């Protein structure tokens, strides 16, 4: 039986017009965790909000996936920015559950504009916690969306996301009536700015396909799998925990080779970009000693001892870090994964909002 934890809840999604935000909104509207009373899409881009609003209005004829009454009242769009305390505080007044998907996530961009990453990825979460604390808002749950780059961070994006995790974990002590937890995962297939759309564009133009280094590996999961992690955390997670998917990994040279196929397209090695890692890590060797298994997920217990249960009751399955260098997929397995999500064909990632939400 699916847990209806969001039945009649008011749900706020910051960064709700991003790649993840769109699929998260779609899944929330499906009612799989219960039918929310209201869903607030909070972001600073009015053009994306307008496009998303129009796309949903065109779905007024009931579909198998979304059945609703008075849709405009269920889905609400709000212009605002997590950097601005007053705008996020106003949105939080109408929320029971918060998904913080607002982020600056492009690694090179964050390297060139590090303070902008600080404002969104650190000050944004701090504004959420401060608003709940100072205004004593009855928010029940806040989920921070993080990344594998926050683990043993070497780039600004990862560093700021790592601080976001710590802000939300410690917030359980500042706001004891609210449950704060995090999810952390790797590269999302075909999300905006990810490598698959880049490779498709380069292949479409006849190459060359650029690879930063031949050894580079990355965790891969779909947008819906990313939402699965978020929903698992909401349904099962305790205060201060961080949910981790057991995602497969692939070498970037294999990904390029599978997408190119038998076409006469050259690949070239360009060198690692500013802030990039060769391998990503979802659980560090320091964290593995407080990482447990829960269903199909790893769960990192809170770093703060005040938030942890008796450690003697847990079994810790990891003896070392969980790295993308481990369990790399074969080319045939990688091709099967891409075909499963229809990502082999040119232009497959240039989808409209409606296609993304199918």
Round to whole Å and give the CA distance between 298 and 172.
Answer: 21
Tell me which residue of 91, 70, 72, 73 sits closest to 82, measured CA to CA. Answer: 91
Tell me which residue of 324, 329, 328 sits closest to 340, measured CA to CA. Answer: 329
Please enumerate in sequence order all residues whose Cβ is within 8 A of that of 291, keeping only pairs 6 or more positions apart, or say none: 244, 283, 298, 299, 300, 301, 316, 317, 318, 322
Round to whole Å and give the CA distance between 353 and 351.
Answer: 7
Cβ contact 274:109 at 8 Å:
no
Place of tokens 């199918």: 358
Tell me which residue of 25, 159, 34 sits closest to 104, measured CA to CA. Answer: 159
In the set 149, 161, 204, 277, the catalytic residue is 149
Tell me which residue of 140, 245, 235 sits closest to 183, measured CA to CA. Answer: 245
Using only C-alpha atoms, the chain has a radius of gyration, in whole angstroms, of 20
Counting beta carbons within 10 angstroms of the beta carbon of residue 310, is it exposed (0 to 12), middle (13 to 18) or buried (19 or more)? exposed
149 has catalytic annotation: yes
Structure tokens of 208?
């060359």
- Give CA separation, 250 vs 133, 160, 219, in Å: 42, 25, 7
- Cis amide leading into 175 (omega within 30): no
- Give CA separation, 240 vs 27, 53, 172, 341, 342, in Å: 24, 34, 7, 33, 36
Tell me which residues are annotated as active site: 149
């Amino acid at each position: 039986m699916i847990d209806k934890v969001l039945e009649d809840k008011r749900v706020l999604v910051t960064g709700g017009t991003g790649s993840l935000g769109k699929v998260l909104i779609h899944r929330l509207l499906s009612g799989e965790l219960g039918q929310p009373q209201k869903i607030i899409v909070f972001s600073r881009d009015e053009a994306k909000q307008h496009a998303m609003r129009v796309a949903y209005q065109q779905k007024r004829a009931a579909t198998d996936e979304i059945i609703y009454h008075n849709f405009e009242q269920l889905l609400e769009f709000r212009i605002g920015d997590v950097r601005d305390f007053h705008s996020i505080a106003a949105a939080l007044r109408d929320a029971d559950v918060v998904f913080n998907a607002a982020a600056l996530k492009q690694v090179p961009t964050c390297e060139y504009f590090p303070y902008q990453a600080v404002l969104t990825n650190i000050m944004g979460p701090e504004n959420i916690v401060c608003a709940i604390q100072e205004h004593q808002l009855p928010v029940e749950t806040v989920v921070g969306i993080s990344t594998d780059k926050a683990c043993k961070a070497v780039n600004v994006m990862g560093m700021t996301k790592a601080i976001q995790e710590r802000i939300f974990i410690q917030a359980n002590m500042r706001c004891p009536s609210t449950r704060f937890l995090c999810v952390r995962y790797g590269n999302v297939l075909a999300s905006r700015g990810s490598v698959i759309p880049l490779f498709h564009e380069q292949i479409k133009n006849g190459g060359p396909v650029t690879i930063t280094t031949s050894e580079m590996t990355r965790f891969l999961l779909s947008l819906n799998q990313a939402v699965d992690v978020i929903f698992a955390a909401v349904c099962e997670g305790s205060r201060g925990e961080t949910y981790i998917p057991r995602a497969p990994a692939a070498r970037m040279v294999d990904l390029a080779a599978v997408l190119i196929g038998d076409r006469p397209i050259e690949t070239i090695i360009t060198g690692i970009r500013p802030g990039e890692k060769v391998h990503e890590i979802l659980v560090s060797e320091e964290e593995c000693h407080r990482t447990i298994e829960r269903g199909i997920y790893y769960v990192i217990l809170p770093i703060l001892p005040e938030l942890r249960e008796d450690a003697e009751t847990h079994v810790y399955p990891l003896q070392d870090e969980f790295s993308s260098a481990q369990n790399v997929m074969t080319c045939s397995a990688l091709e099967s994964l891409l075909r499963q999500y229809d990502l082999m064909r040119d232009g497959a990632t240039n989808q409209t909002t409606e296609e993304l939400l199918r």
